[in-house]
Amino acid sequence: MTATNTKAEPKAADAPTTITPYRNGPYLVRGPFAMIDQNGEKIEVKRRVVALCRCGRSQIRPFCDGTHKAIGFRADSGPPLPAESAAMEATQPARRGGGVADPPAPVEDAAA
């Protein structure tokens, strides 16, 4: 008796949708999905993998047009690692007052 693999390969429609934030770039969406605008209208998607703008400067939003490269957009591809978080916190000034901004310093009038 010959053993056969009964596990079926997932079809494209059965595969989970994934969204991958690329470092200093767009979100890539892979898998079945629908895009709807703020008015409830469907946005036509012509590709199986779509790049969505993350920098906010694309001329074809919500899709990416590569503008992030020209403007020097910077963003990590995920949350910082614990060691990176500790290093960032060590270099940031301490916050006082639970995040409440300090009042502006008074400005003296030069004419007085």
The CATH number of whichever domain residue 26 belongs to comes to 3.40.5.90
Q: Which residue is it, tokens 């409440």?
A: 100
How far is the C-alpha of 6 from the C-alpha of 1, rounded, in Å? 15
Residue 5 has pLDDT above 50, yes or no: no
Which pTM value belongs to this model? 0.58
pLDDT tens-digit readout, 43-77? 999 888 999 999 999 999 999 999 999 999 999 88
Is residue 9 included in any domain, yes or no?
no
E strand or H helix at 41: none
pLDDT in tens, 32-41: 999 999 999 9
Spatial separation of the C-alpha atoms in residues 56 and 68, rounded to whole Å: 8
* Residue 107 resides in a domain: no
3-state secondary structure of 99: helix
pLDDT of residue 112: 45
Q: Are strands 27-30 and 18-21 parallel, antiparallel or unpaired?
A: antiparallel
Number of domains observed in the structure of the chain:
1
Q: What is the pLDDT of residue 52?
A: 95
